[in-house]
């Protein structure tokens, strides 16, 4: 074909992938070239079990994927990297100083107290517009301040920025992901120097900000050699926060849409032109994250498929053989009412035995504790759908935006039961897909930067809708079990 081709590197908290994106006149296609698992690695740190990312192994997987990509498509012109938010590497003179921490590490909890003693939650919200999440980078940096790790560093790079640096030698901070640090000012979109300094961090650690669509650099010669590429390849900044890229690829055809980007997390919200900084929004823990093209992602974090994947991990660890499709079929067949629990409860954040935590939570809250794996899965999906419905309703109320349709993108859009339950509980049609919205958003911003497509996000979304038709779920009241 005569389609132009770029590569999207999309790193999620449970898996990563390298995809080729083909951009034709009126159509977009994706082809996976590599998929690899990702997850926390536990290391002993003076008696404490610390959670880190195996970032070097992840980089090796990315290079292997890019090698395949370059072999299959010698005409590859550009690479874009996105990942989960908030986590970062500390460098000194270009050398990584410690393995990045995983946001589920428990060092953050004491750090929250320390940071809040300097700048309280309402003051922080007025400056950065972010919901409180104990792992926002500013709390993690506070932990690094107390261990002395910051004294050893002269540079802070979020995960995609780190990969871009390793690929090109250029250090830059892409804005959408930088907005999740808590250190960007919500009004100016720039590093909030007074806040950074009050919290005790060195402003010079934070690289120059760039917008999605910016050319970062060419692959370093040794990287080109390693992936066996013979033509120059650009690294382009995309919406490097995975959720920002996913929102770009929501195939919305009308304005009154809410989105649920559902993978490890379920990010539920609306897209706005300007932030909402109301006390009510802060009380409901709604965030104003930076979107591509200066849009605001006004959303709330719901625990997401993590509840399911961590339950499955627990069962497999116990020696059970789990077949996901069977499990979901049995969950769908459950007819007894199951517990609808608070999927947002912070006790589900840490890795560990999820079924036991969910049962204990149900008992504590006078809810029927799930008795079988199928009941537990049904309970998780009902609870997620319930949290999604509350999120959609609150996003609408808090922003004043009418919502008439819900787009579910990401891995969760493949879960038919979850989509149907979400339609039932929101009372709105749910349009499910694309599954690979994040990679698609990543590809689109590279394609636009290269002049292969033009136009606003609305036009890009039209292209997504034409290329990947979503599946429609209508609310069916009979399925609701409250």
Please, what is the minimum distance in Å from the beta carbon of residue 265 to ligand LRH?
4
Please, what is the minimum distance in Å from the beta carbon of residue 364 to ligand LRH?
26
**Which residues in 284-338 belong to E strands, given as ranges?**
287-290, 296-302
Please, what is the minimum distance in Å from the beta carbon of residue 282 to ligand LRH?
17
| Cβ contact 305:264 at 8 Å | yes
Give the nearer residue to ligand LRH in terms of CB position, either 281 or 370.
281
C-alpha 287/C-alpha 186 separation (Å) is 10
Q: What share of the chain is helix, strand, coil (3-state, %, to 5)?
A: 40, 20, 35
Catalytically annotated residue among 10, 82, 192, 242? 242
Tokens of 134: 């104990």
| Cβ contact 52:347 at 8 Å | no
C-alpha 100/C-alpha 93 separation (Å) is 17
Tokens of 197: 């300094």
Give the nearer residue to ligand LRH in terms of CB position, either 224 or 261.
261
C-alpha 215/C-alpha 208 separation (Å) is 13
In terms of Cα–Cα distance, which of 132, 84, 82, 131 is closest to 108?
132
C-alpha 263/C-alpha 383 separation (Å) is 15
C-alpha 219/C-alpha 170 separation (Å) is 10
Give the nearer residue to ligand LRH in terms of CB position, either 16 or 21.
16
C-alpha 160/C-alpha 140 separation (Å) is 17
Give the nearer residue to ligand LRH in terms of CB position, either 86 or 445.
86
Please, what is the minimum distance in Å from the beta carbon of residue 135 to ligand LRH?
7
Strand, helix or coil for residue 378: helix
| 242 tagged catalytic | yes
Please, what is the minimum distance in Å from the beta carbon of residue 131 to ligand LRH?
9
C-alpha 127/C-alpha 181 separation (Å) is 12
Strand, helix or coil for residue 270: strand
DSSP-derived secondary structure for 85-127: SS-EEEEETTEE-SPPBPTT-TTHHHHHHHHHHHS-HHHHHHH
DSSP-derived secondary structure for 174-234: EHHHHGGGT-B-TTT-SB-HHHHHHTT--GGGSPPEE-TT-EEEEPPHHHHHHTT--S--E
Give me the phi and psi of 265, to 5 degrees please: -110, 160
Cβ neighbours, 10 Å, residue 379? 26
Residues that bind ligand LRH (CB under 6 A): 12-13, 84-86, 103, 241-243, 263-265, 267, 301
Please, what is the minimum distance in Å from the beta carbon of residue 473 to ligand LRH?
23
Tokens of 348: 């589900």
Please, what is the minimum distance in Å from the beta carbon of residue 431 to ligand LRH?
20
Give me the phi and psi of 394, to 5 degrees please: -65, -40
Please, what is the minimum distance in Å from the beta carbon of residue 241 to ligand LRH?
6
Active site residues: 242
């Amino acid at each position: 074909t005569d389609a132009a081709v770029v590569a999207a590197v999309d790193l999620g908290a449970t898996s990563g992938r390298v995809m080729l994106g083909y951009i034709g006149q009126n159509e977009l296609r994706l082809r996976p070239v590599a998929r690899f698992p990702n997850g926390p690695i536990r290391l002993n740190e003076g008696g404490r079990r610390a959670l880190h990312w195996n970032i070097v192994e992840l980089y090796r997987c990315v290079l292997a994927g890019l090698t395949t990509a370059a072999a299959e498509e010698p005409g590859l012109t550009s690479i874009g990297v996105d990942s989960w938010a908030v986590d970062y590497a500390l460098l000194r003179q270009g050398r990584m100083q410690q393995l990045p921490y995983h946001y589920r590490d428990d060092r953050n909890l004491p750090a929250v107290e320390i940071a809040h003693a300097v700048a309280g939650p309402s003051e922080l919200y007025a400056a950065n517009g972010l919901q409180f999440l104990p792992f926002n980078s500013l709390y993690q940096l506070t932990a690094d301040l107390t261990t002395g790790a910051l004294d050893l560093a002269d540079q802070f790079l979020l995960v995609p920025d780190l990969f871009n640096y390793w690929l090109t030698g250029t250090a830059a901070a892409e804005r959408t992901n930088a907005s999740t640090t808590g250190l960007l000012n919500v009004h100016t979109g720039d590093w909030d120097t007074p806040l950074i300094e009050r919290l005790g961090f060195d402003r010079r650690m934070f690289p120059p900000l760039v917008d999605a669509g910016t050319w970062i650099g060419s692959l370093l010669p040794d990287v080109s050699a390693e992936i066996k590429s013979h033509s120059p390849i650009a690294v382009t900044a995309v919406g490097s926060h995975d959720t920002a890229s996913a929102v770009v690829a929501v195939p919305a055809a009308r304005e009154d849409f809410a989105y649920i980007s559902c993978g490890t997390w379920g990010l539920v919200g609306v897209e706005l032109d300007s932030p909402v900084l109301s006390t009510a929004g802060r009380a409901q823990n709604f965030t104003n994250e930076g979107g591509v093209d200066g849009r605001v992602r006004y959303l709330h974090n719901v625990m997401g498929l993590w509840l399911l994947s961590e339950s499955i991990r627990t069962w497999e660890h116990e020696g059970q053989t789990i077949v996901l499709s069977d499990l979901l079929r049995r969950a769908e067949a459950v007819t007894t009412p199951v517990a609808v629990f608070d999927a947002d409860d912070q006790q589900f954040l840490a890795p560990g035995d999820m079924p036991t935590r969910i049962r204990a939570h149900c008992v504590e809250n006078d809810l029927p504790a799930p008795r079988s794996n199928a009941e537990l899965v049904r309970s998780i999906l009902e609870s997620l759908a319930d949290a999604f419905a509350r999120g959609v309703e609150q996003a609408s109320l808090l922003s004043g935006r009418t919502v008439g349709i819900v787009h579910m993108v990401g891995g969760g859009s493949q879960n038919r039961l979850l989509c149907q339950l979400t339609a039932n509980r929101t009372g709105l049609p749910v349009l499910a897909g694309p599954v690979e919205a994040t990679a698609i958003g990543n590809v689109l911003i590279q394609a636009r930067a290269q002049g292969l497509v033009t136009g606003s996000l609305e036009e890009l979304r039209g292209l997504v809708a034409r290329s990947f038709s979503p599946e429609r779920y209508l609310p069916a009241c009979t399925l609701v079990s409250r």
